Amino acid sequence: MQAAATALLVLSQVAATSCIGLRNLTSSPQETIDNTRPVGNNIISHDHTFTTEFLGLQLANNSASHRDLGFTGQLGGQWYAVYGDVLWCAPGVKDPAQDPPGFHGMVRDAISLCTDNPLVVHDLHLDSEGRQQQFVPYNEEWGEAADFGFGGTSLVEVDGETNTGALFYLINGNKTGYRGAGIAKVQLVDGAPTVTHRSGDRGYWWDANTTARYGDIAAFRDPRSDYVYAWGGAPMNITDWVQAAYVYQCRVKAADAFDITRYEYWWGRQMGWKSEPPATFTAETAVMWMSGQGQVVWNQHLGCYVFVRLGPMTNEVLLRTAPQHEGPWSDDVKVFNATPIGQDGMTYAGVAHPYLDPSGRSMVISYTNNNNIEVIRVTFDE
């Protein structure tokens, strides 16, 4: 489980039903502006019918582990999936379904090459025993240890000439709590995306206690502009569960991604983009509420941005649409009902695979189901 998913799932146990009604009760009366409420028509329900098929489990063709997330992103003309916790299978096991019970070791995140088969990825950074190594390395000089999590979202390309990418991540100190959100430089080393630098004095920029955890919910390299967008959960010192579930966004020109002074922060539709992070964390300065982790893509067929996510605790794969990243986002359309695997199986983290159909006529989507990655395909009508 990654940081955000855990927090949101805990929250959503309280909020699973009638979120709007509960939110009314706890909102302060003077809070009249709510930029997180759905506005406009969801392009999908309004203009399109669709069919959804379940494709199966995504597996690696060269390694076996149980894993979550797998957010996709592009670098140097290839697409890669970034996973969260990767629980290795026992030595010699080729199929995770055949893994004997027990703990066989793990890393906190990993990266794999996507293939043209939605059910197959190729694991990268394997050790001599064929086990996948951690993608974002921890740094003991910053007081980090092997149990630190680095919840990453999508790899974003920031310089196509030098094949340089970036990964936003949230540092989870495990026993010591969340430190902050940061960004890593990713370069191709021996053909494999590799973290070559982590920005910030202690490997992060945005203190988790006082600023939004940018990049923790989603990250997106917009193919239609120069920008990278990152969405993140509220600061951790906000303890009211309603306020803690708002989602904030920032952006930066891709070429400036490693310069924190070039970031712009969204303060809501009334105040727009500013060079300082928001001073207040409210329904006005937020862009979404209780979204869970997901992925934003531009869909050529629909002519809009689509945010892919799972309803917290509902096992529903949901799509919302917007004309631009700032929103307003529409309400959600349910495209699939996932079936949790196992008694305590949890489904979360909506992942898009746009490289499989650049036309946008169909969308391949994956999500986590109890440490398995399941894949569906949604096909829109003409």
Ligand X SMILES: *[C@@H]1O[C@H](CO)[C@@H](O)[C@H](O)[C@H]1NC(C)=O
The site for ligand X (CB under 6 A) is made up of 20, 24, 37, 61-62, 113, 115, 122, 147, 174-175, 179, 207, 209-210, 235, 237-238
Which tokens go with 83?
């996973």
User: Smallest distance, Å, CB 30 to ligand X?
Assistant: 12
- 126's CB contacts (< 8 A; 6+ apart) are 62, 63, 132, 133
Q: Which is nearer to ligand X, 238 or 341 (CB)?
A: 238
Q: At what angle do helices 19-26 and 3-15 cross, to 10 degrees?
A: 90
Q: Which is nearer to ligand X, 136 or 296 (CB)?
A: 136
Backbone angles phi, psi at 219, to 5 degrees: -140, 145
User: Would you say 366 and 121 are in contact if contact means Cβ atoms under 8 Å apart?
Assistant: no
User: Would you say 308 and 317 are in contact if contact means Cβ atoms under 8 Å apart?
Assistant: yes
User: Smallest distance, Å, CB 270 to ligand X?
Assistant: 18
User: Smallest distance, Å, CB 124 to ligand X?
Assistant: 10
List b or e across 337-362, with b for residues whose CB sees 16 or more CB atoms inside 10 angstroms.
Answer: ebeeeeeeebbbbbbbbbbbbeebeb
Q: Which is nearer to ligand X, 209 or 339 (CB)?
A: 209
Other C-beta atoms closer than 10 Å to the C-beta of 13 total 11
Name 35's bridge partners. Answer: none
Q: Which is nearer to ligand X, 131 or 301 (CB)?
A: 131
User: Smallest distance, Å, CB 51 to ligand X?
Assistant: 28
User: Smallest distance, Å, CB 52 to ligand X?
Assistant: 26
N-to-C CA span, the chain? 38
Q: Which residue is nearest to ligand X (CB)?
A: 147
Q: Which is nearer to ligand X, 179 or 301 (CB)?
A: 179
User: Smallest distance, Å, CB 245 to ligand X?
Assistant: 14
Cα distance between residue 266 and residue 278, in whole Å: 7
